[in-house]
Structure 1
Amino acid sequence: MSSFWNDIKKPILALAPMEDVTDTSFRELVARISDPQCLHILFTEFTAVDGMNHPVGKERVSERLIVSESERKILAEKGIKLVAQIWGNKPEVFHKVACEITEEYDFDGIDLNMGCPVKNVVKQGSCSALIDQPTLAQEIILATKEATHLPVSVKTRTGIRQHDTDRWISQVLETKPAAITLHGRIQKQQSDGLADWNEIAKGARLRDELAPEIPFLGNGDVLSYQQACDYTKEYGLDGVMIGRGIFHNPWFFNPEERAYSKEEKLQQLILHTRLFERNWSGKRNFNILKRFYKIYTSGFPGASKMRAELMNANGYDEVYQLVGAHVDCSVYN
């Protein structure tokens, strides 16, 4: 069945789901500064179906699915799709939670995390552990598809202890997901070493043979928009998903690569802080923002000193006072 995945002009470009990164605040910031012709899909943070199914834990876990009104407005204006990513290991729970997400939220799709390599998650038999449990993985995909009219995609890796691309991707393709994103590392690598794009290409060739209608994206070590476009062509893909590359350049999703001024970077720092404060004050730890401040405080005189001061900040007001000496903070009030 065709879905929005099939309607996007290639190359399809997406920002990967990332823990404590792709919340509604950061997604909105990226959407605001991106060319809608270069950014097509955003994803939520990883959301545990067991948590969503827990009478007590649901309230906290469901924070990962929050979409602010301002983000929703930007996405609608730019035509950017938003997909909820979920993980777990019980088909019946996936079915139940997929029904709830479809009925209670307004997402454009659901993505199944079959690639997270974190050891305690894998020990539970979830995410990349499913690569060695293909029957269970297929049951999860089919149960989720049965529960919703939304397109159900899969993000995964090439193997656990070694590349197993042929066997694994063939088994995923049997379930006819709406799209597949393949990260070019095995679970054992975590984030170490380099992604193997030849393995990603191998998965795409299987797709060509078995289910050519299914969009196939690659993921791993892509650091620029041009590189994403080049890799799409070179490896015979439909597009690329960007992960840590966004930390090198939050303006990643723009065709023009240029140096951004101190003022532009600090304005985005303030915007991000305002959005985070508006969405999460009293709910999430302020210190989460500090990993982002490193993005905006580089490449200009005095950047390292400002970065060090921001790392010692204890709250939003300290940030506004510090950065306000260099750029007008009131624009984002």
Structure 2
Amino acid sequence: MLQNNFWKKLNPAAFALAPMEDVTDTVFREVVMSTAAFDKLHLLFTEFTSVDGICHPLGRNAVLHRFKVNQSETTLLQKNQIKLIAQIWGNDPEKFFKAAEFIARDCSFDGIDINMGCPVGKVIKQNTCSALIDQPNLALEIIDATIKGSGLPVSVKTRTGTHSHQTERWIGQLLGSDVSAVTLHARTQKMLSNYPADWDQVSIAVKVKQRMNADIKILGNGDVNSYNTGLKLIENSGADGVMIGRGIFTNPWFFSEDDSQRDVNEKISLLEKHIRLFQETWNSSRNFSILKRFFKIYIHGFEGAAALRASLMDSRSHEEALDAISRFSK
């Protein structure tokens, strides 16, 4: 039994922000927390990080920015009692063990999550992520190695199957391990995000858990477009919580006391905060263009939004972006 397993004490209707590549860095996590009401956001995840990179003597420095946690973020995590989890991916149990050792020894994360759900072709070709759904023995070896290497609570984020739903078989196999939680994206690998999430599959996962009498949390993921939608999906499926992915791109106030759309001044103010914090955190170590994927999150739904967004997309530095905002606000 793991000591201090936060999953056992998790809020009965938990909300998590999904790990997303080039999105959920320390900057964006802090921005989201700055808008969140107490006890409406419970779990945050890093960008997904390769165990091959972590274990490589030269490659490690190229991936460790994904584990960066600003002191200002740490302060908010503690204040709001939010858990921060490192997500990793790969297919070699020995490297998972070594990566988990490193995370437990040299980082300050509350847990480790294993990516068994990414459907992108280039990772499937590497026999990783959602490809592990069809390799349950290897998946279980990886879980066991990660737990033994870290001594931390370990969770899995996955999908319902590869080409068709295999929820009952796959979730049953995962729940037979010592994993602490499973987040089920209610789509198959083949569905990507091109079809509606099938939340009946989350209900099936919950029934498997009940039948096995497993003390393991089940979170559902897919098409959670508002906080109230999340609450209804939890109630209807019996899940222990929900994970929000693309929903945050339409509303960075998703976890606030009132998740309605904000006025132009609030949107611009939060974008300015994001730009400044990105610059303070990364300076020139991360490409400014990464920020551009966030502009539409803030700049929409008001007069002149399209023109401002076009100016922002033409900017080549944080100074130019802030200058475009300043010209608009005059």
Shorter-chain TM-score range: over 0.9
CA contact (8 A) 1:13 1:40 kept: yes
Q: In structure 1, the residue corresponding to 2:184 is in which secondary structure?
A: strand
After TM superposition, the runs of 4+ consecutive aligned structure 1 residues lying more than 6 A away are: none
The CA distance in 1 between the partners of 2:57 and 2:37, in whole Å, is 41
The CA distance in 2 between the partners of 1:120 and 1:288, in whole Å, is 21
Q: In structure 2, the residue corresponding to 1:85 is in which secondary structure?
A: strand
The CA distance in 1 between the partners of 2:259 and 2:159, in whole Å, is 30
Tell me: CA distance 1:212–1:256, structure 2 relative to 1, closer, same or farther (3 Å). farther
When the two chains are superposed, the root-mean-square deviation of aligned CA atoms in Å is 1.2
1:78-93 to 2 correspondences below 5 Å: 78-93=80-95
Q: CA deviation at 1:213?
A: 1.7
Q: In structure 1, the residue corresponding to 2:243 is in which secondary structure?
A: strand
Q: CA deviation at 1:35?
A: 1.1
Is 1:96 the counterpart of 2:98 in the alignment? yes
Aligned length: 328
Q: In structure 1, the residue corresponding to 2:190 is in which secondary structure?
A: helix
The CA distance in 1 between the partners of 2:287 and 2:261, in whole Å, is 31
1:130-149 to 2 correspondences below 5 Å: 130-149=132-151
Q: Which residue of 2 aligns with 1:168?
A: 170
Q: Which residue of 2 aligns with 1:75?
A: 77
Q: Which residue of 1 aligns with 2:186?
A: 184
CA contact (8 A) 1:226 1:255 kept: no
Q: Which residue of 2 aligns with 1:331?
A: none
Q: Which runs of 5+ in 1 are unaligned?
A: 329-333
Q: CA deviation at 1:7?
A: 1.1
The CA distance in 1 between the partners of 2:47 and 2:213, in whole Å, is 28
What does the per-residue CA deviation read over 1:18-66, in whole Å, with 9 as the maximum and x for residues that have no partner? 0000001000100111012110010000000001111111101111111
Q: Which residue of 2 aligns with 1:57?
A: 59
The CA distance in 1 between the partners of 2:34 and 2:211, in whole Å, is 38
Q: In structure 2, the residue corresponding to 1:189 is in which secondary structure?
A: coil
Q: Which residue of 2 aligns with 1:310?
A: 312
The CA distance in 2 between the partners of 1:86 and 1:307, in whole Å, is 34
Q: In structure 1, the residue corresponding to 2:219 is in which secondary structure?
A: strand
Q: CA deviation at 1:211?
A: 3.7
Q: In structure 2, the residue corresponding to 1:191 is in which secondary structure?
A: coil
TM-score, normalisation: structure 2: 0.97
1:207-226 to 2 correspondences below 5 Å: 207-226=209-228
CA contact (8 A) 1:178 1:215 kept: yes
Q: Which runs of 5+ in 2 are unaligned?
A: none
Aligned residue type for 2:141? E
What does the per-residue CA deviation read over 1:187-243, in whole Å, with 9 as the maximum and x for residues that have no partner? 111221111110111011101111442111000011000000010001111000000
The CA distance in 1 between the partners of 2:261 and 2:175, in whole Å, is 41
The CA distance in 2 between the partners of 1:100 and 1:327, in whole Å, is 47
Q: Which residue of 2 aligns with 1:24?
A: 26
Aligned residue type for 1:4? F
Q: Which residue of 2 aligns with 1:110?
A: 112
Aligned residue type for 1:148? S
Aligned residue type for 2:191? Q
CA contact (8 A) 1:225 1:254 kept: no
Aligned residue type for 2:134? D
TM-score, normalisation: structure 1: 0.96
Q: CA deviation at 1:8?
A: 2.2
CA contact (8 A) 2:111 2:152 kept: yes
Q: Which residue of 2 aligns with 1:10?
A: 12
Q: CA deviation at 1:256?
A: 2.1
